[in-house]
Structure formats: C-alpha cells, structure tokens
Amino acid sequence: MVTLILFIVIFGVVVISHEFGHFLLAKANGIHVVEFAVGMGPNLFSFRKGDTKYSLKLLPIGGACMFEGEDGLDLKEGEEPGAGSFLKAGVWGRISTVVAGPFFNFILAFLIALIMVNMIVIRDPVATQVVEGGAALEAGMQDGDRILSLNGERMYLYEEIQLFTQLYRGGDVEVVYERGGETYRTVLTPKYDESLGRYVLGISNAEFVELSGLDGFRYAWYEMRYSIRMTYKSLGMLLRGQVTRQDVAGPVGIAVNLVGKTYETTRAYGWKNVLVNMMNITLMLSVNLGILNLLPIPALDGGRLVFLLLEVVRGKPIPPEKEGMVHFVGLMFFMALMVLLLFNDLSNIFA
C-alpha cells in the first residue's frame, strides 16, 4: 500500500507539472483548454470551472491537457477554426504551448535537485585515493587529482565518473585532470572489477562538498545534468540494442521495481533517507518525461513541434486533418506499446 501511494504521488507530481506547463501557456495564448486530466481511463472525480473540465482518472499513469481543435479532426473541409481553437492561435503561441510541458518538467527537476543538494552528500570528481595496481596509478595519476573530463565528457560529480564506467564498452580512455592548478592529460584502460561486476578507473572518493552561498544552484544544475545525461545515454543504448527486456520498465515495473524496492531498502535508515530517494526518483522521471516528450514522434510534444516548425519554414500550416491523422496513428502505437510494457513488467515481476 505504501508503494502504491508513493508511486501515485510521484507520478502525479511529474504529470501535473507537465500538463500545467501546457495549461498555463495555452491560457496565455488565448487557447481554450477543454479538459485538464490527471491519469487515464474512467473518471474518478471531475468538476468544471469556467469553460474547462478538471478530471482525476482511475489509472495513475499519464495525463492530458486537451485543447479545442487540437488535432483538426473535428473540422469539416473548408471550415475555419473558431475563436479559442488551438489552430487559431499564432504559430509561436502554439510552439510555446507545446514546449511548455517538457520545459516545466525540467523546472520541476531543477527545484527538486535544489532541495536535494542540501540533504545529500555531494562528491566532487576527485581521486582522493588512487588504488594500488589500478589503471589510474599506472597512467601516472596521484591522490588528490581532480578529473575534469573522460573522453571529452566534462565531469562535475563523482557519480558521473561511475556512470561513465558503468557504460564503458572497451577501449582507451583519455583523462584530463587537474593537479596543483595545472592541467594534465593521460590515457588509461579501465580494468574489470569482479566484486563490482563492472570496469573501474582504479580510484576511490571521499571528497565531500560543503555548500555555501550560491553553491546550491550550481550543484542542483549538476544533479539535473547528471539525470539528463543518464537519460539520453540510456536511450542511445536502447536504440543500439544494448539493453535487454529486463532493463525496460513501464508504469507497473517502475512502481514495483523502482519505487517499491527503493522504499524497502531505505526505510530502515529513516524517513529522511526515504524522502531523498523518492525525490531522486521524481527528478529522474521528470527529466525522462521532458526528454521523451521532445522526441520527434507523432502524438508526442516533439511530433507536434515538428509540424509547427514546418509551418514556420513553409509559411503556412500542414492541413490539420492530415496532421491529426498522423498523431492518431502515433497514439495507437503508444497504446499498443503500453500493453506490451504491461506484459513485460508482469513477466519480469513474476519470472
């Protein structure tokens, strides 16, 4: 029951922030919001305020901010959209309305990160100890060296070094590091650690950051940036076929395997530990939703953005009925994908 409540709260916060972004910019651009819905499926509760219906639905996944005339499928041939229609708004007003959903997800992620950095231990990318026999020592690195980049990727947190080694697939690694105010370069090959089950550089870290002044904003950005990098790297691995069926999760898998197991693991360490970990999950899901919605796929915000940018280039819109059909096909695809993810989650849980 606790897992379910946590899952609903986390998904609710992420979805509401996304849809509220759409809602706010739609209102600012004179677009009529027909319904603001949280969840999917049958209505549990709804009310009307002004000309907008607000709904809470049965399934605690997804949500919608539905605009009048959004897809153009309800228009007859030659019929003009009415006042308040999505299609009646200026192209830049529509672009800002579409982009606002993902943008508000990034705002939410940053605010969560800003709170988190004042509650967690932050570690700078410093090799406080270079391990005997490790790759870093063989490459000439010493205790106290600050790693600036790995293969050109800038490092701001020690967790980013760990992410790099977790995704390492072989080959030499160029390391840029700082020692005594001077910058050095070296090349090393990570070694496989049997106990950890992954490749390592041969360093350990105990460099804890004490925040002061505006440091919180800087490290909040680093934490958010870390989640962004983790998301697009995971997408890259998915596209390259480097993940298995067990690595993919839908809402049920997230609830059981991510939220549920994290809660069970951290509850013994007190409410503060549980809170921080739930906030971290919320941050990651918010970043994920923001990035995934910007992908140029029909029915997603990114797919709608493609048509709007084409309108800017062409100087006239794509016929709304044609765009509407493209998004309808995309929606059907995602409905089928949700069913596949559900079966995948259940098979992973009961395997």
- pLDDT one-digit tens code per residue, 264-280: 888 888 888 899 989 99
CATH class for the region spanning 123-208: mainly beta
pLDDT of residue 331: 79
Return d(Cα 234, Cα 241) in angstroms, integer: 11
Average the pLDDT over 195-214 and give the result.
84
pLDDT of residue 254: 66
Q: What is this structure's pTM?
A: 0.86
Question: What's the DSSP call for residue 19?
Answer: H
Q: CATH 2.30.42.10 residue ranges in the chain?
A: 123-208
**Sequence-separated (6 or more) residues with CB below 8 Å from residue 306:** 296
Interior/surface letters 215-229, b for 16+ CB within 10 angstroms, e for the rest: ebeebbebbbbbbbb
Tell me the one-letter amino acid at 276.
V
- pLDDT one-digit tens code per residue, 150-180: 999 999 999 999 889 888 888 999 999 999 9
Confidence of residue 332 (pLDDT cuts 50, 70, 90): confident
Output the CA torsion sign for 336, 339, 345, 346: negative
Return d(Cα 335, Cα 331) in angstroms, integer: 6
150 forms beta bridges with 153, 175
3-state secondary structure of 140: coil
With beta carbons less than 8 A apart as the criterion, state whether 177 and 183 touch.
Answer: yes
- The closest alpha carbon to 351, from 223, 253, 278, belongs to 253
Return d(Cα 345, Cα 259) in angstroms, integer: 14
Q: Is 133 exposed, middle or buried (0-12, 13-18, 19+ CB in 10 A)?
A: exposed
Confidence of residue 347 (pLDDT cuts 50, 70, 90): low
In this predicted structure, which of 33-47, 81-95, 287-301 has the lowest mean pLDDT? 81-95
